[in-house]
Homo-oligomer: A and B are copies of this chain.
Amino acid sequence: MKRVTIAEIAERAGVSIGAVSYALNGRPGVSEETRKRIVDIADEIGWRPSVAAKSLSGSRAHSVGLIIARPADTLGVEPFFMRFIAGLERELSGQRIALLLQVVEDHRAAIEAMRLCWAERRIDGIVLTDLYAEDTRIPVIEELRIPAVLAGRPRTDARLGAVWTDDKAAVDASVDYLVALGHRRIARVAGLPALDHTQVRIAAFREAVLRHGLSEPQVVETDYTAEEGAQATRALLSRRDRPTAILFDNDVMALAAINVAQEMGIAVPGELSIVAGDDSQLCVLVRPALTALSWDIQAYGLHTAQVLLDMIDGRPPRSHQENTARLVVRGSTAAAPPA
Contacts and interface: CB of A to CB of B under 8 A. Distances in A.
Interface of A: 1, 3, 46, 48-53, 55-56, 61, 63, 72-73, 75-83, 85-87, 89-90, 93, 96, 98-104, 113, 116-117, 119-122, 145, 226, 252, 255-256, 258-259, 262, 280-282, 284-287, 297-298
10 contacts: A46-B119, A50-B120, A50-B121, A51-B121, A52-B55, A73-B83, A93-B113, A98-B122, A99-B100, A99-B102
Given A52-B52, A120-B49, A287-B262, A86 B99 contact: no
Contacts of A282: 282
A101 B99 contact: yes
Given A76-B80, A252-B281, 8 more contacts: A48-B120, A52-B52, A85-B103, A89-B104, A93-B113, A226-B281, A255-B285, A258-B287
B77 A119 contact: no
Nearest to A83: B76
A90 B103 CA distance: 8
Given A52-B55, A93-B102, A262-B287, A77 B281 contact: yes
A15 B337 CA distance: 83
Tallying the copies of this chain within the complex gives 2
Given A72-B86, A76-B280, A226-B285, A52 B61 contact: yes
A89 to B, nearest CB: 5
Contacts of A50: 56, 120-121
